Amino acid sequence: MNVTVSAPLGGRPLTDRTLPTFAGRVDVPAYDRAALTPAVVHLGVGGFHRAHQAVYLDELARQGDTGWGEIGVGLCSTTMRDALIPQDCLYTVVQRSRHGDTARAVGSMIGYRYAPADPRAVLDCLADPRIRVVTLTITGDGYHLDDTGRLRTGDPAVRADLADPRHPGTAPGYLVEALDLRRRAGLPAFTVLSCDNLPDNGAATRAAVLDLARLRDDELAAWIETHASFPASMVDRITPQTDDQARRLVADRFGVLDRSPVITEPFIQWIVEDDFCNGRPPLERVGVQFVPDVAPYKLMKTRLLNAGHSALGYLGQLAGGYRTSTDAMANPVIADYLAALMREEIAPLLPPAPGVDPEAYQRTILERFANPRISDQLSRLCGRGSTKMPAYLLPSLISARREGKPALLLTLAVAGWFCYLRGYDLTGAPIEVRDARRDALQPLAVAGGTDPRPLLADRSLFGPLSDDDDFVTMLEYALHDLELYGPAATICDYLAAELLPGQDRAHTTAAHDPAWAATAGRDPDRAVA
């Protein structure tokens, strides 16, 4: 159980040697970390993994099962290496709720490897017969897949892995080479468990690994396909990026000088397809749900929470003056918009998820977004839109249009994204656009203005929406409304459209619909400040 602390304390470094001194202020592991068996390797250690999967493994060890220690691997940045190694891979997780802060020291990670500095050490670790599961949080871009879900064989990083398999640079490259080492040594394969927010992360991982293996050796690919497994999973816990304020909080409140603490929320969820080839940790003992099919849970989370995060980010940032999710959610207009977006336009499109009450789940999301002690930066929610929007929000819009269901609020979120891509908010203040495709998309957004067609021409992003004339018109009106009236007034009018009996909002053209303008009491020729 976590220990709540109220009095400010002086700080000292967190290491194995100092760990006992924090007892009473921080919930410290009582198990012998030296007795942990390395059985899990995690590729892409960051804040989310340390707030989520590593916490579950730590909880398992606290219950007496020391057979599932983990080794962390960094593939790109040196940040985690420089933070964790001096701390014996210990770190602090602070859980923030409306009722206060609690802290725990997580001890499940017993080693760390930085891949660019020593690829051989990472491969040796992955080839260790004690390793049974490899988990990943490498973001969608780390799989090197194209728009059809196949490996980008022309990618320079992929070509480099093919040219020199013993010194890989990508996650698929490490996985394929390690599995080949195990095959040649007569060892069993390991399970590869993606924890990234992809539409089907198990299938994506399988495709990346098998496609690369086939380019190397058909026999290797066949062995992997027969002996390895790639279960799908759904993970959920809001974890803002660590900053200096987080480090000061942990030092002042809990007396811990931690180079990279993790700040997170009380909510945590992990649902995993029960398909493991070499044994698995008994995580059901600590709250993980193993199911035969993750798909309905994944859809529920990505299309409600992740899409909601994107909508909140774009419309909140455009409104000006809001920096965090909590700031934006304090505006009842934005909060009502998100509630209606989920209730009216997204949830009706979703299949049932066994054991989940959809209305309660939506209420929980809104409460999490509004948690004043775990605010997320809107700038982070807005980032990587060209990856996140096609994965999280646009599928609901496509389904709604195909089924003739309401889609006006979804369209408004897309309009917010288009405005964000211009690089300035609706007051004219600059916005830093964080997107791998910024250089290609921003000129189209600027040139288009309130005409969405230049951006919609990118069918790799928008698919059938590019040819949907009614949607194009609806989006054009939404862009016009945002620019002329601002986000708050536009949202109020779009929500007012819910009250018009018998109106098909899938074909409503915003304020330009006379009945809507009359009901909303709005003069289409008067801009709202």
- Within 13 A of 209's CA, how many CA atoms are on the CB side? 33
The CA dihedral of 334, 339, 345, 346, to the nearest 10 degrees, is 110
> What pLDDT is attached to residue 319?
84
Residue type (1 letter), 263: I
Which among 239, 274, 293 is the end of a domain?
293
Question: Per the domain annotation, does 249 fall within a domain?
Answer: yes
Last residue of a domain, one of 293, 309, 344: 293
Tell me how many domains the chain contains: 2
> Do residue 318 and residue 289 come from a single domain?
no
Closest among 143, 443, 79 to 433, alpha carbons compared: 443
pLDDT-above-90 percentage for the chain: 86
Q: Is residue 165 domain-shared with residue 209, that is, in the same domain? A: yes
**Same domain, residue pair 328 and 259:** no
CATH code for the domain in which residue 355 is found: 1.10.1040.10
Kindly report the CA angle at 464 between 461 and 467, in degrees rounded to 5? 110
Domain limits for position 120:
3-293
Burial (Cβ within 10 Å: 0-12, 13-18, ≥19) of residue 432: exposed
CATH number, residue 182: 3.40.50.720
Instruction: Tell whether 528 is covered by a domain.
Output: no
| DSSP alpha helix (H) spans, 148-264 | 156-163, 171-184, 201-216, 218-227, 244-254
Do residues 231 and 306 both lie within one domain? no
| Confidence (pLDDT) at 498 | 59
Within the chain, which residues score under 70 in pLDDT?
Answer: 1-10, 498-529
At 428 the pLDDT is: 86
